[in-house]
Structure formats: structure tokens, C-alpha cells
């Protein structure tokens, strides 16, 4: 394979195209606008309606486990007062998902192509060619 699983992970963690490695997932100057296709290699980024529900789940999980759970534990242990915990929880419930929006989209693509690397354009064999290892 031309693109290894290690490269897919690296590209996913750096918000790059999993196929070519270009910083082309999002439209220039638009924080929330995802390109439908990679302008450099043509990889279809937006697959189908609902494809990025996994990104929403990742974002929710990271927000819950990485932010809201520690706030709850600190409140339970008495480190944070009631008002402080409520304000942090409400603010974090809004701002953490917004901050993780781009990362969660990239992580979704990373997970998809990590388990299905043969779906990347760079890893597809030409039809009719023989496998050298057969």
C-alpha cells in the first residue's frame, strides 16, 4: 500500500487529507466548512449523508470524558463550588465541541481509512493488474 496506517493516523491527527496529506479538508478561511473533495488529489471527503455522525459521537465523547467528567469529579470532591461547576459545565458543553469540530471531522476520516485503507485513492490497484505476491 502506498499510504500506510501510520500515515493515516498522522494525517488524521494533523487535520490533513488521508490520501495525499494536504491541508485541504476545510475550505480556506471557513472554520466550519468542509470541502466535498480534496482539491489536491480528488479524494471524496464528504461521502454520504450521515457519514459524519461518527464525528459528532467522537466530539461528544471527548467533551464528556475529557472535560465534563473532570469538572464533575472536582465538584464532587469539593474542589469546585456549585456555581463554578455549573458555569464550567455549561460553558464547556458549548465551547469544547466548537473547538473540537475540525479535529473530530478529521478523526472520523482517520478511523474510517485506518480500518479500510484500501478505499484510499492512492491504495487502489488498477483494474486488471496482477498482484505481485500471488
For the segment 61-84, what is each residue's pLDDT rounded down to a tens digit? 999 999 999 999 999 999 999 999
Q: What is the rounded distance in angstroms from the CA atom of residue 112 to the CA atom of residue 96?
A: 23
- Residue 127 is predicted with a pLDDT of 45
Would you state the cell numbers that stand for residue 50, as one nine-digit string? 450521515
Cell numbers standing for residue 26: 476545510
Please state the pTM of the whole predicted model: 0.80
Distances (CA, A) of 25 to 42, 60, 62, 130: 11, 21, 21, 33
pLDDT tens-place string over residues 112-129: 999 999 989 888 865 445
The ranges assigned to domains in the chain are 5-123
pLDDT band at 57 (very low <50, low <70, confident <90, very high): very high
In a 13 Å sphere around the CA of 72, the CA atoms on its Cβ side amount to 8
Residue 5: count other Cβ atoms within 10 Å of its Cβ. Answer: 13
Q: How many CA atoms lie within 13 A of 116 on its CB side?
A: 6
Residue length of the chain: 134
Contacts of 122 (CB under 8 A, 6+ apart): 2, 3, 19, 20, 41
Amino acid at each position: 500500500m502506498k499510504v500506510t496506517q501510520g500515515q493515516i493516523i498522522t494525517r488524521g491527527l494533523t487535520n490533513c487529507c488521508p490520501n495525499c496529506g494536504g491541508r485541504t479538508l476545510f475550505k480556506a478561511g471557513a472554520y466550519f466548512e468542509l470541502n466535498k473533495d480534496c482539491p489536491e488529489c480528488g479524494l471524496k471527503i464528504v461521502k454520504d449523508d450521515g457519514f459524519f455522525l461518527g464525528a459528532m459521537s467522537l466530539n461528544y465523547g471527548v467533551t464528556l470524558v475529557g472535560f465534563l467528567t473532570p469538572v464533575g469529579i472536582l465538584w464532587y470532591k469539593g474542589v469546585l463550588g456549585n456555581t463554578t461547576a455549573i458555569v464550567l459545565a455549561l460553558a464547556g458543553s458549548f465551547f469544547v465541541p466548537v473547538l473540537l469540530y475540525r479535529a473530530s471531522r478529521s478523526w472520523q476520516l482517520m478511523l474510517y481509512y485506518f480500518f479500510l485503507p484500501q478505499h484510499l485513492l492512492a491504495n487502489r490497484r488498477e483494474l486488471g493488474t496482477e498482484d505481485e505476491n500471488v
